[in-house]
Chains A and B, each alone.
Chain A
Amino acid sequence: MNNFIQALLIGLVYWLGTNRLWYGTTTVIRQPLVMAVPLGLIMGDIQTAMIIGGTLQLIYLGAIAPGGNIPADEAFAACVAIPIAIKTGISAEVAVSLAVPVGLLGVLLDTLRRTYASAFVRLADKAAEKGDGKALRRACFWYPFFAAIPLRVIPAFLAAYFGADAVQAFMNWIPAWVTNGLQVAGGVLPALGFAVTMIVIGKKSLLPYFLVGFIIMAYSGISTIGIAILGLCIALLQGNFAPATANGGESDDD
Chain B
Amino acid sequence: MTTNVAERKLTRKDVIKAWLRYYTVTEVGNSYERLTALAFGFGMAPVLEKLYGDNPEQLKEAYKRHVSFYNSEGTWGSLIVGIAMALEEENANKVSKPEYDSATDEENATEMITNIKIGLMGPLAGIGDSIDMGTIRPIFLSLFIPLAAKGNILGGIGPLVLFGVYMSFLAYFLVRQGYTLGRDSVASVLQSGRISKLIDSAGVLGLFMMGALSASYVKLTTKVVINTSGGAFKIQDTLDGMLPKLLPLAVVFLIYYYIKKRGPKYLRIVGAIIGFSLLLSLLGIV
Contact = CB atoms under 8 A, between A and B. Distances in A.
Interface of A: 19-29, 31, 33-37, 40, 46-48, 50-51, 53-55, 57-58, 61-62, 64-68, 71-72, 97, 100-101, 104, 113-115, 117-118, 120-121, 124-125, 127-131, 133, 136-137, 139-141, 143-145, 148, 177-178, 180-182, 184-185, 187-192, 194-203, 206-207, 209-219, 221, 223-225, 227-228, 230-232, 234-236, 238-239, 242, 244-245, 247, 252-253
A185 B159 contact: no
A179 B75 CA distance: 43
A77 to B, nearest CB: 11
B75 A206 contact: no
A244 B160 contact: no
**Chain B interface bracket (under 10, 10 to 19, 20 to 34, 35 or more):** 35 or more
B49 A210 contact: no
State the main secondary structure of chain A at its contact with B.
helix
Contacts of B212: 213-214, 216-217, 224, 227, 231
Contacts of B267: 104
Interface in B252-266: 252-253, 255-256, 259-260, 264, 266
Nearest to A104: B267
Contacts of A124: 38, 41, 67
Contact of A25 (B149, B163, B256): B163
A54 B208 contact: no
Interface in B187-226: 193, 196-220
A250 to B, nearest CB: 10
B76 to A, nearest CB: 11
A140 B18 CA distance: 14
B143 interface: yes
Contacts of B163: 24-25, 28
B201 A235 contact: yes
Contact of B133 (A27, A47, A55): A27
Given A34-B160, A214-B249, A195 B256 contact: yes
B14 interface: no
Interface in B148-181: 148-153, 155-157, 159-160, 163-168, 171
Contacts of A200: 129-130, 133-134
A23 B73 CA distance: 9
B159 A31 contact: yes
A26 B38 CA distance: 17
B152 A217 contact: no
The 4 closest A-B pairs by CB, nearest first: A213-B211, A117-B31, A187-B219, A47-B151
A24 B32 CA distance: 22
Nearest to B140: A28
Given A20-B26, A34-B156, A25 B204 contact: no
Given A67-B35, A120-B29, A136-B45, A182 B255 contact: no
A33 B248 CA distance: 23
B145 A57 contact: yes
B190 to A, nearest CB: 11
Contacts of A24: 23, 74-75, 163-168, 171
B27 to A, nearest CB: 4
Interface in B233-286: 243-245, 248-249, 251-253, 255-256, 259-260, 264, 266-267, 269-271, 273-274, 277-282, 286
B41 A128 contact: yes
Interface of B: 23-39, 41-42, 45, 49, 56, 59-60, 63-64, 67, 71, 74-75, 125-126, 129-130, 133-135, 137-153, 155-157, 159-160, 163-168, 171, 193, 196-220, 243-245, 248-249, 251-253, 255-256, 259-260, 264, 266-267, 269-271, 273-274, 277-282, 286
Contact of A195 (B216, B252, B279): B252
B111 to A, nearest CB: 17
- The residue in A20, A127, A198 that gathers the most chain B C-beta atoms within 10 A of its C-beta is A198
A33 B255 contact: no
Contacts of B45: 133, 136-137, 140
A200 B196 CA distance: 15
B146 A194 contact: no
22 contacts: A23-B23, A27-B133, A50-B150, A50-B152, A51-B150, A53-B148, A53-B155, A64-B129, A65-B133, A117-B32, A118-B31, A140-B29, A188-B219, A191-B251, A198-B256, A210-B207, A210-B211, A212-B208, A218-B244, A223-B146, A235-B208, A239-B201
Contact of A232 (B199, B205, B270): B205
Given A194-B252, A206-B203, 12 more contacts: A31-B141, A47-B151, A50-B151, A51-B151, A62-B210, A67-B71, A121-B34, A143-B29, A198-B256, A216-B211, A224-B146, A253-B130
